[in-house]
Amino acid sequence: MIGFAKRNLLIFFRDKAAVFFSLLAVFVIIGLYALFLGDVWVNSFTGLNGVRYLMDSWIMAGLLAVASVTTTMGAFGIMVDDKTKKIIKDITSSPLKRSRIAGGYILSSYLIGCIMSFITLILAEIYVIANGGELLGPAALVKTAGLILLSTLANTSLVFFMVSFFKSANAFGTASTIIGTVIGFLTGIYLPIGQLPEAVQWVIKVFPVSHSAVLFRQVMMAEPLSVTFAGAPDSAVQEFEELMGVTYKFGGTTVTPLTSIAVLIVTAAVFYGLSIWNLSRKKS
């Protein structure tokens, strides 16, 4: 399985176009924010200190959640290519069990997702600092790194399950385009969750990837929130956090970080199991 995963890693990083397009959604969001969305949100909160630092941290936290989806989606293109080119027939005829083949695909995609997400984190920190913000502290960096590992694991399993149904490059390409477009809305980047209808908010709150965004925001926005809302009443902070998706509420119950972590762990376990089952029941 390790050797098979290594083979997938080499194929992915050898294809420069695949690497670029796996980060395309990240570049698009950064471009939109830098050119349009950033000024809109900063101007929306006039009279507060450090608003640029706060909103930059907000968008970059959401960006990390998006990157862990789009980069693993790009990595699974190798599996689709293997099916399209009938290479999978040679692979399944080898002594490797189907579960190990599936494990090789998910391991390589997970590693690719982690690598590309850490690259995204570096780009995000450079952007924040360039606009007058501060580098994440050591404790926050460690927490963010841990969240990258966990979020990528959950999202890899989720994407793997979806990709396991594709047998053509066209279907995979269409799905990648749709996911790359929709993921920004489902993580509350293009429009804050508090501005959406209740029904849409509910859908976002039960979507596993959005819990990654919440966790990243709680870590990366802790310092800028303390600066911007210094001396402000707790109610003002809570209202802002609910509006911008820093915290989720179901009715009057606030979703705790442990609950969001549990959602990601359960997502990883359930969808990895479903992916193995889906591949095992099919004839190549």
3-class SS letters over 206-253: HCHHHHHHHHHHHHHCHHHHHHHCCCCCHHHHHHHHHHHCCCCEECCE
Checking if the pLDDT of 10 tops 80, the result is: yes
Find the mean pLDDT for residues 52-80: 88
User: Comparing 167 with 174, which gets the higher pLDDT?
Assistant: 174
DSSP state of 35: I
Return the higher-pLDDT residue of 124 and 87: 124
Asked whether 121 and 128 are in contact (CB, 8 A), the reply is no
On the question of pLDDT at 155 being above 60, the answer is yes
pLDDT at 141: 94
Give yes or no for residue 97 having a pLDDT over 80: no
- Give the max Cα distance, the chain: 67
Say yes or no to pLDDT of 115 above 90: yes
Q: Find all residues with CB under 8 Å of 191, minimum gap 6, and list them.
A: 185
**Over the chain, what is the mean pLDDT?**
84
CA gap 155, 274 in Å, rounded? 14
pLDDT at residue number 261: 95
pLDDT at position 101 over 80: no
* Nearest CA-CA partner of 150 in 212, 67, 207, 220: 212
Of 187, 210, 220, residue with least CA distance to 263: 210
Whether residue 282 has pLDDT greater than 70 = no
Tokens of 83: 């099916």
User: How far is residue 99's CA from residue 160's CA, in Å, rounded to a whole number?
Assistant: 13
pTM of whole model > 0.75?
A: yes
227 Cβ contact partners less than 8 Å away, ≥ 6 residues apart: 49, 50, 53, 54
Give the Cα separation of 108 and 185 in Å (integer): 27
253 φ, ψ (degrees, to nearest 5):
-100, 125
DSSP secondary structure string, 59-87?
A: HHHHHHHHHHHHHHHHHTHHHHHHHHTTH
In the predicted structure, residue 139 carries a pLDDT above the cut 90: yes
pLDDT top residue among 224 and 98: 224
Q: What percent of the chain has pLDDT over 90?
A: 24
Helix (H, G, I), strand (E, B) or coil at 197: coil
More confident call, 273 vs 3: 273
Neighbouring residues of 177: CB distance < 8 A, sequence distance ≥ 6: none
The more confident residue out of 48 and 66 is 66
Give the number of other Cβ atoms within 10 Å of residue 51's Cβ: 18
Q: How far is CA 103 from the centre of its chain?
A: 21
Average pLDDT over every residue of 223-241: 86
CA 106, 109, 115 angle in degrees (round to 5)?
Answer: 140
Question: Count of CB atoms within 10 A of residue 66's CB?
Answer: 26
Can you tell me the mean pLDDT for 79-98?
74
